[in-house]
């Protein structure tokens, strides 16, 4: 178990990580989602000991390791660029930690070979041991990098955007494999990513980071359906976020009025979010049914994504509003560019946030249907 207590780090006066407190459990897959510049890499470097915090502490299984050098922490780190040793073969890369680590090195060469072979098998690289690292593909490098770390049996394995450099196909396969490998070994993975789909799909638990601070830490489905902050709603990338102000029972945005859910009546509202897949498209001027509200917008274009369509609309103030239609639910409809449509949704599906961005309590914490 690793405990971060109010970790803070600044570079030349610019805060990169501020006041981060978090408990990383044993045997869990934790994803850390944040846009670039949110301090996620810095946080990882603090945990691994490659950087020293300005304030705060890191406890590892009850021991204070805040200022312990990386080679005494027993953590693994898989870097974004893989950082393989270019002058060594795949086998020697993987064996490196076992052979040369300060604590408990493995001196028996046959034992090293056995463990290396075992780990290469785990990551699906049996038979690649003799190759030089310059002679294998990106996906294979990433596996070597993972194997090199896992073979040392780290207490926690830190992964810095491990899938960032892979193409989409490989990415999807590695997503499944990473989870499988982790479950096999029972090692805690702390996976840093800027990709919301990855964070949602992989983590048992997920932490959303913004501007160096934790915005929300929860199960992915909870974060997805009930973002605690408007920034989270934006990161998960499935919400239309409207900016404006609440006036009693209505919310004024882009010179239009939409109804607020009942719980938000009379409260200060700064942001209004609605999931892209809970919006209906009707002809312009259609009066919404009771319990629903609507917005007029201009259709621009649509994007076909295999199993679904994304319809893109422009609001009068220039903002973009996206509607997602799954083909399993409805057939695609063709709209004319420039056509005005009425977009409506169930009030109960709406999420509202106060002007500072914090979520207001509503009862919308459920699926889209």
Partner 1 sequence: MNQNTAIRTLLAFYTALFLAFLYGPFVVMAIISFQQGPEGGPQFPIIEWSTFWYQHVLGFAPPSRVAPLPIGEALTRSLTLAFATMVVSTVLGTLTAQAFRTQFKGSGFVFYLVVLGMMVPGVLLGLGMALVSSQFGIDRNWWSTAFVLHVVYTYPFAFLVMLAIFNRFDKSIEEAAWALGVPPGRTFRKITFPMIFPGVLSAMLFAFTLSYDEFPRTLFTGGREVTMPIAIYGTFAVEIHPNLFAFGVLTTLFSFALLTVYGVLMSASVRRARVRATGMQEDVA
Q: For residue 231, report the phi and psi dihedrals to the nearest 5 degrees.
A: -65, -40
The least distance separating partner 1 from the CB of residue 83, rounded to whole angstroms, comes to 4
Biggest alpha carbon–alpha carbon distance for the chain: 78
Tell me how far, at minimum, the Cβ of 75 lies from partner 1, in Å.
Answer: 7
- Smaller CB distance to partner 1: residue 14 or 369? 14
* Smallest distance, partner 1 to C-beta of residue 38, A: 20
Residues with Cβ < 8 Å from 247, sequence gap 6 or more?
none
d(CA 303, CA 42): 36
Looking at the Cβ atoms of 190 and 200, the one nearer to partner 1 is: 190
Closest CA to 163 of 152, 179, 186: 179
Binding residues (CB under 8 A) for partner 1: these are 48-50, 69-77, 79, 81, 83-87, 89, 96-97, 100-103, 130-132, 134-135, 145, 148-149, 152
Please state the closest distance from residue 80 (CB atom) to partner 1, in A. Answer: 8
When the beta carbons of 79 and 342 are compared against partner 1, the nearer one is: 79
Q: What is the 3-state secondary structure (H, E, C) of 98-142?
A: HHHCCCCCCCCHHHHHHHHHHHHHHCCCCCCCCCEHHHCCHHHHH
Q: Which is nearer to partner 1, 44 or 206 (CB)?
A: 44
Edge-first strand order for the sheet with 256-259 is 245-247, 250-253, 256-259
Q: How many other C-beta atoms are found inside a 10 Å radius of the C-beta of residue 138?
A: 12
48 vs 253 by CB, closer to partner 1: 48
Distance (Å, rounded) from C-alpha 317 to C-alpha 294? 16
The least distance separating partner 1 from the CB of residue 25, rounded to whole angstroms, comes to: 21
* Minimum CB distance to partner 1, residue 355 (Å): 42
Q: Residue 73 CB, nearest distance to partner 1 (Å)?
A: 8
Helix axes 168-185, 109-122, angle to 10 degrees: 130
Decide if 271 contacts 352 (C-beta within 8 A): yes
In the bound state with partner 1, the residue whose beta carbon lies nearer, of 77 and 215, is: 77
Q: Are 340 and 282 in contact (CB under 8 A)?
A: no
Q: Which is nearer to partner 1, 124 or 316 (CB)?
A: 124
The C-alpha atoms of residue 349 and residue 297 are separated, in whole angstroms, by 19
Q: Which is nearer to partner 1, 41 or 344 (CB)?
A: 41
- Provide the CA 294 distance to its chain's centre, in angstroms: 31
Which residue lies nearer to partner 1 by CB, 77 or 242?
77
Looking up tokens 């973009």, which residue turns up?
A: 320
**Residue 72 beta carbon to partner 1: minimum distance, rounded to whole angstroms:** 8
Structure-block tokens of residue 121: 């098998």
- Least Å distance, CB 114 to partner 1, is 18
Q: Which residue has the tokens 């961005």?
A: 357
The C-alpha atoms of residue 52 and residue 68 are separated, in whole angstroms, by 9
Report the alpha-carbon distance of residue 288 to residue 296 in Å, rounded: 11
């Amino acid at each position: 178990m690793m405990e971060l207590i109010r970790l803070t780090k600044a570079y030349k006066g610019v805060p990169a990580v501020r006041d981060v407190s978090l408990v990383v459990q044993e045997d869990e897959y934790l994803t850390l989602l944040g846009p670039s510049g949110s301090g996620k890499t810095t946080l990882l470097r603090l945990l691994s000991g490659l950087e020293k915090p300005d304030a705060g502490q890191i406890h590892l299984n009850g021991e204070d390791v805040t200022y312990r050098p990386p080679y005494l922490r027993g953590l693994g780190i898989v870097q974004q660029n893989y950082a393989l040793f270019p002058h060594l073969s795949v086998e020697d890369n993987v064996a490196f930690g076992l052979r040369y680590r300060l604590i408990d090195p493995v001196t028996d060469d046959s034992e090293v070979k056995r463990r290396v072979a075992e780990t290469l098998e785990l990551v699906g690289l049996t038979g690649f041991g003799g190759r030089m690292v310059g002679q294998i593909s990106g996906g294979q490098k990433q596996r070597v990098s993972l194997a090199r770390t896992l073979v040392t049996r780290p207490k926690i394995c830190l992964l810095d955007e491990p899938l960032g450099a892979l193409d989409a196909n490989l990415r999807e396969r590695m997503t499944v494999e990473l989870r499988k490998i982790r479950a096999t070994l029972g090692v805690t993975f702390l996976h840093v990513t800027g990709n919301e789909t990855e964070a949602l799909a992989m983590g048992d638990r997920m932490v959303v980071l913004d501007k160096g601070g934790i915005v929300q830490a929860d199960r992915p489905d909870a974060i997805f359906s009930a973002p605690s902050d408007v920034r989270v709603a934006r990161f998960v990338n499935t919400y239309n976020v409207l900016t404006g102000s609440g006036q009693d029972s209505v919310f004024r945005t882009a010179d239009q009025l939409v109804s607020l859910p009942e719980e938000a009546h009379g409260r200060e509202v700064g942001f209004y979010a609605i999931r892209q897949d809970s919006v209906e498209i009707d002809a312009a001027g259609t009066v919404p049914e009771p319990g629903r509200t609507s917005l007029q917008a201009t259709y621009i274009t649509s994007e076909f994504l295999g199993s679904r369509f994304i319809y893109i609309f422009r609001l009068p103030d220039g903002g973009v509003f996206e509607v997602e239609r799954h083909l399993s639910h409805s057939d695609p409809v063709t709209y004319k560019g420039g056509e005005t449509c009425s977009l409506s949704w169930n009030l109960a599906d709406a999420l509202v946030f106060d002007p500072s961005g914090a979520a207001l309590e509503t009862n919308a914490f459920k699926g889209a249907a």
